[in-house]
Amino acid sequence: MHLGMVVDLKLCIGCNSCVDACKAENGTSPGIFWNKVLEQEVGTFPNARRIFWPMRSMHCQDPPCKQECPTGATYQRPDGIVLIDSNKCIGCKACMVACPYDSRDIFENNKGYFSEGLTPFEAQAYAKHVKGTVQKCTFCAHRLEKNLQPFCVENCITGALIFGDLDDPNSEVSQALRAARGTIRLKEELRTKPSIYYLT
C-alpha cells in the first residue's frame, strides 16, 4: 500500500476550502498552515489565466526530512505517510531546512486569533500540540484510522483532491492518474519521489 493524492489543477478554483478545513480539523495556531494554495498567472493578455496549486507535505517516498532528523522524530509508515513524533522532536528545525517544499512549521506559541484570549475550541485544539516541536500535514492519519478521508479531500467543493492507494490499480486515485493527459510531481529532479501528483 502506498497512500497518496492527486490534485486536478483544472478543477481547483482557489477557494481555500481545503485550507480552512485543515485548520479546523487540526487546530493549528495563527500563521501555521499545513495546507496552502499558491496562485500562478500564466499566459499573456488576452489569454492570461490563473492556476491554483494546493500545497501540503508531499509525503515523499525518499524524504530528505527523515534523513536529516537527528533524533528519529520524523519517520515513515509502511503506507508511505511521513509523520513526526512530537515526543522525540527537539525543535532543531533540521527537517524544515531539508524539506524542499517548505511544508513544515514549528509550534512556538499558543496565541489565539482573538485578543480576549483562547476560545474553548482553540484551548482544546492547541493542547494537542507540543510547544517547540515541528508540525506538518499528516494526511489526517487520525481520520484514516476510522476509514475516513483527509478532511481537505472531504471538503473540496469541486472534487479537485483525490486520495487513496497508489498501488491499487482499482482505486480512484490510480484511475485518475491513468486517465490524465499529463501529470507533474514537484521538483522531481531532487528524486524525493513525492506522493502527490498534479494533473495538468
Beta strands in the chain (DSSP E): 3-8, 36-42, 49-55, 74-76, 82-84, 105-107, 133-135, 161-165, 183-184, 196-199
Does the pLDDT value for residue 48 go beyond 80?
A: yes
**Count of domains forming the chain:** 1
At 130-146, the pLDDT tens digits run 999 999 999 999 999 99
Helix (H) or strand (E) holding 187: none
At 107-120, the pLDDT tens digits run 987 788 888 888 89
Residue-level pLDDT at 3:
97
Residue-level pLDDT at 115:
84
Residue-level pLDDT at 125:
86
Q: For residue 89, what are the domain limits?
A: 3-199
pLDDT, average across residues 33-38: 95
- Please give the full DSSP string across 133-159, using - where no structure is assigned: EEE---SSHHHHTTT---HHHHT-TT-
Average pLDDT, the chain: 94
pTM greater than 0.85 (yes/no): yes
pLDDT, average across residues 57-71: 96
Cell digits for 81?
A: 505517510
Question: Residue 9's domain is classified under what CATH number?
Answer: 3.30.70.20
In this structure, are strands 196-199 and 3-8 parallel, antiparallel, or unpaired? parallel
